[in-house]
Amino acid sequence: MHDDSTRALQIRRQKSAKSAALLTAVLFLALAMPVASTGAYGASKTIDETALAIEAPGFQDKVAHDIAIEIVKPGNEGLEFTARLSESGGLIERDITWTLRDAQGAVVYDKSTELAHIAIPPGDYTIQALYGSASFSQNLTLLRGNRLIFSFVLDVGGIRVLPRVKGLGLAPTQSQSLVYALSGSDKGKLITISKMPGEILRVKAGDYRIESRFNTGNAVAVADVHVKPGVMSAVEIDHAAGLARLSYVGAPDANVSWLVINDHGEALPAISGLSANVVLKPGSYVAKAQIGDEFLTASFDISAGQQRDILLGN
Q: For residue 67, how many other CB atoms are within 10 A of its CB? A: 19
Which residues make beta-bridge pairs with 267? 261
Rounded distance, CA 162 to CA 233, Å? 11
pLDDT for the residue numbered 293:
87
CA distances from 50 to 109, 187, 212 (A): 31, 21, 17
Low-confidence stretches of the chain (pLDDT < 50) are 1-61
Q: Residue 161, CB half-sphere, CA atoms under 13 Å: how many?
A: 29
pLDDT value at position 64?
Answer: 74
Domain 156-239 coded CATH 3.40.50.2300:
no
Single pTM value for the model: 0.72
Which pLDDT does position 82 carry in this prediction? Answer: 94
Q: Name the residue ranges covered by the structural domains of the chain.
A: 3-30+61-153, 156-239, 242-313
Residue 287 half-sphere exposure toward CB, CA atoms < 13 A: 29
AA letter at 64: A
Tell the CATH superfamily of the 242-313 domain.
Answer: Carboxypeptidase-like, regulatory domain (2.60.40.1120)
- CATH fold for the domain made of 3-30+61-153: Immunoglobulin-like (2.60.40)
**Residue 196, helix vs strand vs coil:** coil
Rounded Cα distance, 48 and 58, in Å: 23
Helix (H) / strand (E) element for 6: namely helix 3-12
Convert the pLDDT of each residue in 87-146 to its tens digit: 888 889 899 999 999 999 999 999 999 999 999 999 999 999 999 888 888 899 999 999
Residue 105 region by backbone torsions, left for phi larger than 0, else alpha for psi between -120 and 50, else beta: left
